[in-house]
Amino acid sequence: MPRVFATSVYALGWGVLIQFFLAGYAAAQFDVPFVSFSEHRNLGHILVALSLINLVLALLARGSRGTLGMAAAVFALMMVQMAIGRSNLGDNTVTHVMFGIHAINALVIMRVNMLLAKRAKRLIEDRAHRKRTSEVEEPVSI
């Protein structure tokens, strides 16, 4: 289960990176009417679901309290991200500031997820070490 958890955490990290590309691409195409943020929005919804799956996988992988806390933090930040993305207060300064915060929150998500990925990798290594140690320490019957 730790490997599945780690893979899912890495997938979320790559997804956030792709989100930056999609947001920049859509923002640069403001003069083309058929280009929108729909791909960015759709992938965002998938990533919110993936962050919840990561939280469940952290529980199933028997991660430490810190690992569970980080997985919960990523999920909470993703929920905030979705709420900011859905806010539409018109074309005014408040909306522009909110979307600026949306970008900063994405960076925070990326950082916390990177720390979570390190913990997931360490969880795999610890389990492998325990398995090797238990195999070596088994008494030999004569």
Q: For the segment 92-106, what is each residue's pLDDT rounded down to a tens digit?
A: 788 888 889 999 999
| Residue 56 resides in a domain | yes
What pLDDT is recorded for position 35? 58
Residue 142 lies in a domain: no
| 85 part of a folded domain | yes
- Residue 15 lies in domain: 2-137
Task: Please report how the helices 65-86 and 93-137 are oriented relative to each other, as an axis angle in degrees rounded to 10.
Answer: 160
CA–CA distance, 67 with 127 (Å, rounded to integer): 15
Question: For the whole model, what pTM was predicted?
Answer: 0.82
82 assigned to some structural domain: yes
- Structure confidence at residue 31 as a pLDDT band (50, 70, 90): low
With 60 as the cut, is the pLDDT of residue 47 above it?
yes
> What was the pLDDT predicted at 8?
96
In a domain, 113, yes or no: yes
Q: How many domains, in total, are found in the chain?
A: 1
pLDDT at position 7 = 95
